[in-house]
Amino acid sequence: MHWKVNEVTTSLRVALLGCGVVGSAVAARLQQHRDDFTARVGAPLDIVGVAVRDLDRPRPESGLDPSLFTTDAEELVTRADLVVELMGGIEPARGLLRRAMEHGASVVTANKALLGEDGPELYEVAEKQDVDLYYEAAVAGAVPLVRPLRESLAGDTVHRVMGIVNGTTNFILDKMDRTGADLESTLKEAQELGYAEADPTADVEGLDARAKAAIIASIAFHTRVRTPDVYCEGIMGVTPDDIRAARKIGCVIKLLAICERTADPRGALGVNVRVHPALVPRTHPLATVHDAFNAVFVEAELAGELMFYGQGAGGVPTSSAVLGDLVQAARHKVRGGRGPGESAYLALDVHGIGSATTGYFIRMDVQDRPGVLGQVAGVIAAQGVSIESIRQGLKRSEGGLATLHLVTHPATDAALARTVDRLRAHEDVASVASVLRVEGL
Amino acid sequence: MHWKVNEVTTSLRVALLGCGVVGSAVAARLQQHRDDFTARVGAPLDIVGVAVRDLDRPRPESGLDPSLFTTDAEELVTRADLVVELMGGIEPARGLLRRAMEHGASVVTANKALLGEDGPELYEVAEKQDVDLYYEAAVAGAVPLVRPLRESLAGDTVHRVMGIVNGTTNFILDKMDRTGADLESTLKEAQELGYAEADPTADVEGLDARAKAAIIASIAFHTRVRTPDVYCEGIMGVTPDDIRAARKIGCVIKLLAICERTADPRGALGVNVRVHPALVPRTHPLATVHDAFNAVFVEAELAGELMFYGQGAGGVPTSSAVLGDLVQAARHKVRGGRGPGESAYLALDVHGIGSATTGYFIRMDVQDRPGVLGQVAGVIAAQGVSIESIRQGLKRSEGGLATLHLVTHPATDAALARTVDRLRAHEDVASVASVLRVEGL
């Protein structure tokens, strides 16, 4: 096969920013499989420098010559054809990516926080500089999702994306479902096993999934969604009682990222993007996603239902996505052209959570006397919400109370929130113990 | 967003070859969503002609002006920037694609038969002419698989691809599993419902899956595999007894396409590519693929396990894959460059079925007398094959015979074939009713 060499006659210069677990895996692979990369790209990929904060920390797993490490990232990005950013965080990553592109480098990043906040500005720099900005690793780790949404589905219309995009919370919820244990002890176990970080806030509060949801929605709907546009609830409120109750009605609880094309109450088209725990029927493919795996369901007008499944985190799996992007960007450096940029031509409005349409699962304690079920049903009907099922627990709680488990048909979140307010205020309702959304019915 | 216009200043000329269900769906979409395509590509896509065999057949579903239809495909392909081939078959499709590329057009095809037979020659023409040759729709319909293998996993090493890539046979086997009906009546039902063609040979004999397996293996392993290199068994021999027996040991029968990097008995690296029915544990994700859906499992060194799931056939779903390819090829026409060509730098040997490593499920009738189980076990051990489980049916068959269900641990197909020969020849074995491979244990 004959390669046409454009711009580059010898090797391509690769700079790494950050050398943690993903960076080390990327560096090691590039060196160990140098010939494969050369054949696939059409030119050798040479690591010309690795920017780190602490030069003294040994990084034997990267296999890199110590002379390649530098603390001067600003200088490094000006002498590379390809820059791989794996530092995370907003600054200095943002400035460095911008500087790299302004010096003509194509960039690959796994930085979901940065893209969720400031993706649009960076996409514009890439467009202006005619370089690639790739970020498959920022969403769902090793699972190819960004490229299929942006390229494979480029001739289709995506209506909905619903997925498990955070491995830590899936590990915790899956474990709670299997063992019946509470969240705190399960989180501790996840930390001991390395599935959760010492500070688990970004995962358990849903912030990681939130940034990913913003990125997914932007690509899927050809629009701009930023992290603050995404409604977000974490999993800290999920109790063993919720999980048991979900099981009783054939469901499991998952933290979902949901991106939908919707219409607001006045019929204006827009998008609704949200992250929250939800009941999912055990027969739904997402219910069978265990441990720290990720899976994303896509509903498109022509393609119908698609699902993508794989490892959503971990240094080695994530390095696969980074390296795939690196090879694409490098091929463009060798052969000319560049990949499709971000397209935001639709510029859809972002609608609030109130217009989102879901089912609700409500667990409550009510007075144990005849007619109470009808009273409750009346409160719900008065809000225009339709009941899918209602069942009274066999075991009565203390103080003459009965437990009700109620599932509504899909309705707007606003109507459901009003319904819950009315239930809480009703004299026959002692307490509303739990309210969770239901998806995938 | 500012588009740099390369080569093309106004619209891009699209020619369709063939206007059946997929072609009509492609044509209708291009017209109905013209503005979306313009925004996504950077230039309008204009259908300049549609080559058909019979000009008199009405095609209202395509929405096309009748003046666009022509029988002169040879001429049509010389006046298009993009040619979409949906005729199927080897000729005239091969000659037309070649001619289109030689006239500078990028081409999109769903023609698995042609690519399985003659892909390498066509890839070389694309390379030489510096045009795109895309074919996502040739494998697994709407499921993005070609692009993820070729691009997302370009920095990884794929070890194995195992999937359900033929919707018709999955519909039949799934139905047989649910109803207990035999193959003939289920096939008839599939034909009535439109899931199987009047002549179902290509599907039920595994020929469709065989061509797809050749294409998948070529991309996944950076080598050249052609359809005749692929070992192939269809589903015509699968009986309700097999399905019942599979169920008893917690398995379901699926027609699988399997592509593996292997070593032959002398240790030489190569690939093994095969299509055959196999028992799959019901806990395996592929076991949960129902109806005419497709799903493909990919095992890569860095990414680990990935799965891709969706609709593998049907005019509208397939049009999604065709249109995605068309948008990519069109973007390259507008912005310069082209997508990655096929890479076959590894040129691996194709190993025969004998070196494939699988488990076997063997159902046989044996003499119902003490010691026979030990005799059978001895025959198997003598071939160096290890037994995973062996169970004797509760219900004795007629003539003093007992039914044995036996599952071996994985061994080479050659050793297992020898084992079955020895069993058939053994005096205690009345008959070997069925032999099926076992995958995904």
Residue A227 distance to chain B (closest CA, Å) = 22
pLDDT tens for each residue of A177-197: 999 999 999 999 999 998 899
Residue A11: both structure tokens together? 């090797």
| β strands within B119-268, DSSP E | 133-134, 158-164, 231-232, 251-263
Cβ of A303 within 8 Å of Cβ of B317? The answer is: yes
Q: Measured between beta carbons, which residues in chain A are less than 8 angstroms from residue B323?
A: 154-156, 302
Q: To the nearest whole angstrom, how far is the Cα of B141 from the nearest Cα of chain A?
A: 9
Closest of A312, A37, A346, A354 to residue A222, by C-alpha: A346
- Using an 8 Å Cβ cutoff, are B71 and B52 in contact? yes
Cβ contact, residue pair B310, A306, below 8 Å: yes
Which chain B residue lies closest to A158 (C-alpha atoms)? B320
Digit-coded pLDDT (tens) for A90-127? 999 999 999 999 999 999 999 999 999 999 899 999 99
On the question of pLDDT at A4 being above 50, the answer is no
In this structure, are residues B242 and B180 in contact, taking their beta carbons and an 8 Å threshold? no
Q: In whole angstroms, what is the distance from residue A256 CA to residue A234 CA?
A: 10
Helix (H) or strand (E) holding B88: none
Pairwise CA distance, residues B156 & B317, whole Å: 29
Using only C-alpha atoms, chain A has a radius of gyration, in whole angstroms, of 24
8-state DSSP, A397: B
Among A16, A42, A21, A326, smallest CA distance to B153 is for A326
Q: Which of B175, B212, B254, B333 is catalytic?
A: B212
What residue ranges do the domains of chain A occupy?
Answer: 12-142+316-335, 161-311, 356-438
Q: Mark residue A399 as left, alpha or beta (left: phi above 0; alpha: psi -120 to 50; beta: remaining).
A: left
Is pLDDT at A82 greater than 80 in this prediction? yes
CA-to-CA separations, A263 to A39, A260, A304, in angstroms, rounded: 49, 10, 20
Neighboring chain B residues of A147 at a CB cutoff of 8 Å = 147-148, 151-152
Gap between the Cα atoms of B335 and B131, Å rounded: 13
Best residue in B37, B135, B152 to probe A by mutation, most A CBs within 10 Å? Answer: B152
**CA–CA gap between residue B328 and residue B424 (Å, rounded):** 56
Q: Nearest residue on chain A to B313, judged by CA atoms? A: A303
* Assigned CATH topology for domain B150-311: Dihydrodipicolinate Reductase; domain 2 (3.30.360)
A chain contacts of residue B345, beta-carbon cutoff 8 Å: 1, 39-40
Buried b (16+ CB within 10 A) or exposed e, B299-334: ebebbbbbbbbbbbbbbbbbbbbbbbbbbbbbbbbb
Phi/psi region, residue B377 (left: phi>0; alpha: psi -120 to 50; beta: rest), is alpha
Task: Check for a shared fold between A161-311 and A356-438.
Answer: no
Burial zone of B101 (CB within 10 Å; 0-12 exposed, 13-18 middle, 19+ buried): buried
Q: Per CATH, is A12-142+316-335 categorized as 3.20.20.70?
A: no
* Dihedral over alpha carbons B422, B427, B430, B431 (to 10 degrees): 10
A112 assigned binding-site residue: yes
The annotation places the binding site of B for NADPH at: 112
Backbone phi and psi for residue A36, each to the nearest 5 degrees, phi listed first: -60, -45
Give the containing element (helix H, strand E) for B230. none
Which residue in chain B is spatially nearest to A284 when comparing CA positions? Answer: B288
**Residue B396: per-residue pLDDT:** 63
Taking an 8 Å cut-off on Cβ atoms, the answer to whether B36 and A317 are in contact is: no
Separation between Cα atoms, residue A47 and residue A11, nearest integer Å:
10
Partners of A29 on chain B (C-beta within 8 Å) are 155, 302
Question: Which one of B302, B316, B322, B342 would you mutate to disrupt binding with A, by most A Cβ within 10 Å of its Cβ?
Answer: B302
Tokens (6 digits) for B48: 């300049």
A-B contacts (CB, under 8 Å): 197
- B300: nearest Cα among A323, A401, A72, A256: A323
Show residues of chain A in contact with B319, CB under 8 Å. Answer: 155, 302
CA proximity to A147, closest of A327, A15, A272: A327
- Torsions phi, psi for B93 (to 5 deg): -55, -45
Overall residue count recorded for chain A in this entry = 441
Q: Which amino acid is at A99?
A: R
Task: Read off the tokens for B72.
Answer: 């002169």
Distance of alpha carbon A106 from alpha carbon A329, whole angstroms: 6
Per-residue pLDDT averaged across A414-432, rounded?
Answer: 93
Per-residue confidence in pLDDT tens, chain B, 441 aa: 334 444 445 899 999 999 999 999 999 999 999 999 999 999 999 999 999 999 988 888 888 999 999 999 999 999 999 999 999 999 999 999 999 999 999 999 999 999 999 998 999 999 999 999 999 999 999 999 999 999 999 999 999 999 999 999 999 999 999 999 999 999 999 999 988 999 999 999 999 999 999 999 999 999 999 999 999 999 999 999 999 999 999 999 999 999 999 877 677 889 999 999 999 999 888 998 999 999 999 999 999 999 999 999 889 999 999 999 999 999 999 988 888 877 888 889 999 888 889 999 999 999 988 888 889 999 999 999 999 998 887 666 667 888 899 999 999 999 999 999 999 999 999 999 999 999 987
CA B43 from centre of chain: 34
CB distance A321–B303 less than 8 Å?
A: yes
Check B157 against A33: CB less than 8 A apart: yes
Q: How far apart are CA A375 and CA A377, in angstroms?
A: 5
Q: Which alpha helices (H) appear in B383-412, and where do they start and end?
A: none
Q: Are A74 and A41 in contact (CB under 8 A)?
A: no
Instruction: Report whether A20 belongs to an annotated binding site.
Output: yes
* CATH H superfamily, domain B356-438: ACT domain (3.30.70.260)
User: A161-311 sits in which CATH class?
Assistant: alpha beta
